[in-house]
Amino acid sequence: MDPIWIVLLILLAIALLYGVFVYNQLVQLKHNLKQSWSNIDVLLKQRHDELPKLVDTCKEHMAFEQSTLEKVMQARAQVASAREAGNIPALGQAETQLRLGLGNLFAVAEAYPELRASDSFQHLQTRITALESSIADRREYYNASVNLYNIRVEQFPDMLIARQFGFRPEALLMLSEAELQDHSVRQLFS
């Protein structure tokens, strides 16, 4: 056999092995991305289940703050809708509204000593605060996973294999401008 053919076969085998290697890495990154989203989804569901309990507890003590409670429940519905649809940009916006609503709710609750003294309110506030912290951690991990995946999908020569097999860049879970701004606690009481 001619040495040129041997060299060409070796180069073809190397290119094929490299293609398989890149494809398998892209699959792994895609599944890591889905797992990181699933981790967020679990926490969002848990928070979704806790919020009505918090609102019911607050309703017992906060007769004049109905609009605050309604805003929290509306934001909860928007988060659930975006989560179920898998709409990452809409979820980021809905999350912002829910966080602002919860911040307002907890700030307004300070004016109700009976509510703050309630064991169920304290338990729910602690639980939701812990869930918020966990969601923030998972969002960070999700965005890191998206970033790694997007880099591999867009860098050369991996992009050639990614495009061939339908790997497309994914959206980051972005913070809205409202979450990036400083908030004045004084405004919550005026």
Q: Which two tokens stand for residue 134?
A: 């966990």
77-87 residue pLDDT tens: 998 898 888 88
Tens of pLDDT, residue by residue over 20-36, are 999 999 999 999 999 99
Torsion from C-alpha of 18, 21, 26, 29, nearest 10 degrees = -140
CATH topology (fold) of 3-188: de novo design (two linked rop proteins) (1.20.1440)
Higher-scoring residue by pLDDT: 86, 190: 86
Give CA–CA dist 20/161, Å, rounded.
9
Beta carbons of 50 and 125 less than 8 angstroms apart: no
Question: Token pair of 60, please?
Answer: 């017992």
Q: Is the pTM of this model over 0.75?
A: no
